[in-house]
């Protein structure tokens, strides 16, 4: 069979880059000194210091789990036929905070690509903000009930040189971690893309595996 060159958009495709939202939390000062205590301090020449209080940061995860073991082998075989189930981890500037694994293969004329990323935030609040920011960038999708603390899925179709590619992205938040799953596909024989339903269900299936793996990593 002849080799079919991949479209420029696919050959140049990089794993999704998500800007990590880092929240800076300052220690708050203690309650204000009452007026009578303040006046008494002036009389005696002493001051009544305020005791500092700390605000607890809510988070469950300190590091990202191994992404290439987060999706079941049977899921990889069904979503990315012909791909090595071990996957390939993408190099990260800080593997403790962000780790990504990628699977891709061309079987016959059908091309499939799957990415799964774990992004660890400083707190639940920071993850909630990052989650909302991501949804604002990826409008047009819908909620995925039962996926982590919150889940969202969106599918888009692109066309380049008459070749269609359909891509689905699922974003899930689990405590202070975002789990981002990207799944896309093309058919190089008829230049059509897989259906929205196929891509959406595939992305959600991989996302569920990844969320389960994250919860089991504690």
Averaged pLDDT for residues 129-156 = 95
Averaged pLDDT for residues 100-119 = 97
Q: Does 4 reside within a domain?
A: no
Averaged pLDDT for residues 41-64 = 59
Total-model pTM: 0.74
Residue 46 has pLDDT above 90, yes or no: no
Q: What are residue 167's DSSP bridge partners?
A: 156, 184
Among 113, 118, 116, which residue's Cα sits nearest to residue 103?
A: 113
Range of the domain at 49: 24-55
SS3 89: strand
38 and 142 belong to one structural domain: no
Higher pLDDT, 172 or 52: 172
182 and 167 belong to one structural domain: yes
Averaged pLDDT for residues 155-178 = 97
Among 129, 92, 95, 82, which residue's Cα sits nearest to residue 14?
A: 92
Residue 2 has pLDDT above 60, yes or no: no
**CA–CA–CA angle 87, 89, 130 (5° rounding):** 115
101 and 128 belong to one structural domain: yes
Q: Does 70 reside within a domain?
A: yes
Residue 28 has pLDDT above 50, yes or no: no
pLDDT at 58: 73
44 and 118 belong to one structural domain: no
135 and 157 belong to one structural domain: yes
46 and 151 belong to one structural domain: no
CATH code for the domain in which residue 115 is found: 3.40.1000
Per residue in 188-209, pLDDT (tens digit) is 999 999 999 999 999 999 999 9
Q: Does 158 reside within a domain?
A: yes
Q: Does 3 reside within a domain?
A: no
115 and 205 belong to one structural domain: yes
| Total of domains in the chain | 2
Q: Does 121 reside within a domain?
A: yes
Q: Does 1 reside within a domain?
A: no
* Residues 185 and 112 sit within 8 Å (Cβ to Cβ): yes
176 and 196 belong to one structural domain: yes
CA–CA distances in Å: residue 9 to residues 5, 63, 102, 198: 11, 32, 17, 21
173 and 156 belong to one structural domain: yes
């Amino acid at each position: 069979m002849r080799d079919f060159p991949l479209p420029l958009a696919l050959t140049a495709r990089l794993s999704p880059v998500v800007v990590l939202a880092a929240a800076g939390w300052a220690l708050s000062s203690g309650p204000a000194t009452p007026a009578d205590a303040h006046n008494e301090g002036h009389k005696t020449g002493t001051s009544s210091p305020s005791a500092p209080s700390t605000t607890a940061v809510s988070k469950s995860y300190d590091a990202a789990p191994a992404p290439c073991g987060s999706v079941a082998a049977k899921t990889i075989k069904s979503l990315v036929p012909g791909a090595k189930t071990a996957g390939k981890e993408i190099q990260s500037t800080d593997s403790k905070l962000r780790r990504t694994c990628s699977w891709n293969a061309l079987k016959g004329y059908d091309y499939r690509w799957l990415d799964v990323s774990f992004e660890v935030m400083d707190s639940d609040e920071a993850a909630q903000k990052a989650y909302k920011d991501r949804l604002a960038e990826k409008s047009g999708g819908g909620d995925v009930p039962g996926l982590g603390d919150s889940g969202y899925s969106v599918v888009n179709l692109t066309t380049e040189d008459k070749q269609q590619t359909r891509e689905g992205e699922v974003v899930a938040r689990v405590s202070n971690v975002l789990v981002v799953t990207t799944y896309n596909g093309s058919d190089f024989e008829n230049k059509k893309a897989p259906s929205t339903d196929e891509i959406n269900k595939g992305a959600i299936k991989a996302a569920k595996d990844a969320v389960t793996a994250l919860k089991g990593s504690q």
